[in-house]
Structure 1
Amino acid sequence: MNHKAVILGNNYYIALSVMRGLGVHGIHTVAIDYSDDDTYAAKSKYCNEQLIAPHYKDEPEAFIQFLIDYAKKQDKKPVLMPCHDSYVELIDQYLDQIRKYYLIPQTEQGLYTKTLDKEKLHELATEHGVLVPETVHTNEEDFYEKIDQKIKYPCIVKPTDSPSFVSTFRQKNFKVYSREELDEALQKAEDADLEVIVQRIIPGFDDHMHTFDCYLNQDAKVTHWTTAQKLRQYPINFGASVYTHQLHFPELYEIGKKFLEGIGFKGFVEIEFKKDADTGDFYLIELNVRFTNFDALLTKVGLNFPYITYCELIGDPLPPMSIKEDTGITFWYAYEDLLAIRDYLKTKQLTLLQIIRSFFKKKAYAVWDWKDPKPAFSYAGMIGRKVIKRVTNR
């Protein structure tokens, strides 16, 4: 029997794309979650098993033991693929223990967590000569003077631990326009016992957000890569990709490769950059150390990163590959893009004509697939229930 692929976080379309990317190659996929509720990725025809485990946050040790017990029953080590930051953090915490039973790209315990932590990531980036937005820590002397002189308003109050912040506030950061709003944001974070930093906003519309998506092998060398440009995100200005196209930016390869190989990263990773509208410089914003939101786009342009990961870990690596032309193929997460469009129009950041013109591109869909429609119907039911609940609670 071949190595199975164990996929964590199946209530999101990243896991669905991973499931499909592996399933088309005949790989046995296993969906493991703490509940069956809204796990629409597991409805894919490519899902071979679905298991319910203890809650990874409420019972972390029991969850890890569940994974280990499952792996012990297999003929060969499964490949473990967490599709959400919270799962990544937990796996990193128990990495040395769980690597005895699973195939996992990363070998250095703590590196996943270090790169997810915004403060530690910026320290790493600075050490390796990569630009990061100017930052002030809340415990620095002359804090407000530094905000006025170095950061200026508006600025963003950003968490060091994004998953916990998003889970608490349902947004990535707080954008503040004055000292009063800054104090309010800092108080909210303190009340939630969350550490934050204050950063300068790099000038430029959302289409100044770019990504370097790549795979680094077990020698920590980039073997597969491409770049992309966000066109729209949700929430607008500081959110996740909802309309993103593949576009070649060679300078991102030069910056990203040097940095990632320098820190010894292994496996799939995405660096988000923002291009300064005034200077043209690229600033590192964050790293995504699990498969990205637009994994379906990357697969469609020829870089099936879940399969690339799987093949290398079982000892059968695929030949190096990069996409160096502009395919223009666009990832579309329709539901949240419609919400984003509403807000772009409301704030007059985009016109209706600009939005209409943008749609004439070949697309890679977040959820829909003619060959695998069941997850889309399950997803539609989930959204429908949420809408009804909102309406009835008014």
Structure 2
Amino acid sequence: MKNKAVVLGANYYIGLSTIRCLGVHDVHVAAVDYSWDGAYGLESKYCSEALIGPHYKEDPEGLLSFLIDYSKRQDHTPVLIPTADPYVEFVDAYLPELREHFLIPQKEQGLYTKIMDKGTLHTLASQHGVAVPETVNVYQENFVEKVEEMMDYPCLVKPVDSPAFVSKFRRKLFKVYNKEELIEKVNLAKESNIEVIVQRIIPGFDDHMYTFDAYLNQDSKVTHWVTCQKLRQFPINYGASVYTQQKHVPELYELGAKFLEGIGYKGFAEIEFKKDAQTGRYYLIEINVRITNLNHLLYKTGINIPWITYRELIGEPLDPKAVEEDKNMVFWYAYEDLLAVREYIKTGQLSIKQVITSYFRPKAPAIWDPKDPKPAMAFGKKMFGLVKGKVIKRS
């Protein structure tokens, strides 16, 4: 392959999976991170070049120059793939400049950010006939009364900009049980200059969470897709996938494809839906516009998103494909799943028997790969260091 692939982010398993999905097809992968420390994806045998550049938040202009300088040294235009939300925000902010030197699916600057923003996303969804949970803007007058009129407690205080919220509070949202907690958490967010909204909780356990994962070509048409069902997440109830199965749900295609094609989206996107346990209706919760946590599961079921992206951008698109059967395979991020299982059992949401029974299935591990073991070893070393540090700190 003449065109190199530049993967942004190597300190998490999403970046690692992206590197592997391209490397197995002999693509020259240049992985970029801001530090060697903890960037276990750089240890992959499929990583052709390990590049340490400026930090996306501390020096975005420096990172832009770093990437452009790299591209100028290449004989063919590289494909650029961000694997974390902050990198997506960076790409969106400098999309015109980056598109002069890289192959990138999206052409419309601001669309990535608009979709990641919960407020504008809900407006878009409503315009295209997709249900979203009842939502209240905390900056409107008498917002507390509005919340109590539209929904019951408990309810959710959610960020408009998820990366900033997670960076500050180390969680995805606040769950509040009364008026006092609602006001407290909203004020806490305001003090940190983080915009939030209040949202109704859609009834149903974590296995009522589903995903529609799709790739849209440059004509904004879905060419590849698969649907999945979450079984466990961490933090429990309102976290990221840690144990998720591929599950064919045709209705999600009808909802998801119509919406993404309607807004003129290009490239990969993952829509998270929650199925109302009382009504059976699917509600759009959020959209990930970077490679998903479940990427290795999608690959194992026959949908290699990084490779699909790469091939289309170099002008050699793959034939359309959808996974329209249940393959009985699960994605497993063992480290956080074990933490989640402890909490599920502790809170009585799952029994030990239910957990043990769930493990007897073919798995797509987040990190471990017998053909590429070094990243898992580096991850283990990182975890050992963290545990050792905590023990020393306590003693």
TM-score, with length taken from structure 2: 0.99
What amino acid maps onto 1:153 in structure 2? Y
- Residue 145 of structure 1: how far off its partner (Å): 1.5
Correspondence 1:140-179 to 2 at 5 A = 140-179=140-179
> Within 2, Cα distance between the matches of 1:58 and 1:144?
37
Alignment of 1:48-63 (within 5 A): 48-63=48-63
Q: 1:209-267: CA deviations, max 9, x gaps?
A: 00000100000000000100000000000000000000000000000000000000000
Q: Distance in 2 between matches of 1:120 and 1:261?
A: 17
Q: How does 1:169-318 map to 2 (within 5 A)?
A: 169-318=169-318
Aligned counterparts of 1:151 and 1:11: Cα–Cα separation in 2: 39
Aligned counterpart, 1:370: 370
Q: Which blocks of at least 5 consecutive residues in structure 1 are unaligned? A: none
Shift of 1:142: 2.6
Name the SS for the 2:377 alignment partner. helix
SS at match of 1:283: strand
In the other structure, the counterpart of 1:348 is 348
Q: Which deviates the most, 100-109 or 138-147? A: 138-147
Q: What is the deviation of 1:139?
A: 1.6
Cα RMSD, aligned residues only: 0.7
- Aligned equivalents of 1:157 and 1:298: distance in 2? 31
Q: Distance in 1 between matches of 2:134 and 2:391?
A: 42
Q: Structure 1: how far apart are the matches of 2:87 and 2:151?
A: 33
Return 5+ residue gaps in structure 2 as ranges: none
Q: Residues of 2 paired with 1:190 and 1:168: CA distance?
A: 12
Tell me which residue corresponds to 2:30. 30
In structure 1, give the amino acid aligned to 2:25: H
Matched, 1:128 2:128: yes
**Residue 86, structure 1, aligned to residue 100, structure 2:** no
Q: How far does residue 306 in structure 1 lie from its aligned partner after superposition?
A: 0.3
Match of 2:379 in 1: 379
Which 10-residue stretch deviates more, 179-188 or 272-281?
Answer: 179-188
Q: CA deviation at 1:141?
A: 2.6
Using the alignment, how far apart are the partners of 2:349 and 2:390 within structure 1? 27
Task: Point out 4+ residue stretches in structure 1 off by more than 2 angstroms.
Answer: none
**Distance (Å, rounded) in 2 between the aligned partners of 1:60 and 1:323:** 38
Tell me the SS of whatever aligns to 1:156.
strand
Q: Report deviation, 1:11.
A: 0.2
1:40-89 superposed Cα distances (whole Å, 9 cap, x missing partner)? 01100000101111111111111101100100000001000110000000
**TM-score, structure 1 normalization:** 0.99
In structure 1, what is the Cα distance between the partners aligned to 2:164 and 2:141? Answer: 27
Q: Aligned AA for 1:266?
A: K
CA distance in 2, matches of 1:329, 1:66: 40
Question: Partner of 1:18 in structure 2?
Answer: 18
Tell me how far apart the structure 2 counterparts of residues 3 and 189 of structure 1 sit (CA, whole Å). Answer: 44
- 1:286 is paired with a residue whose SS is strand
Once residues 326 and 252 of structure 2 are traced to their aligned partners in structure 1, the CA distance between those partners, rounded to angstroms, is: 14
Distance (whole Å) between structure 2 residues aligned to residue 109 and residue 377 of structure 1: 39
**Any idea what the Cα deviations from partners look like across 1:340-371, whole Å, max 9, x if unmatched?**
00100111000001101111110000000000
Give per-residue Cα distances to partners, 1:273-296, cap 9 Å, x unaligned. Answer: 000001000000000000100100
Rounded to whole Å, the distance in 1 between the matches of 2:274 and 2:328 is 19
Distance in structure 2 (CA, Å) of the matches to 1:261 and 1:295: 22
Between the two proteins, the alignment pairs up a number of residues equal to 394
Shift of 1:5: 0.5
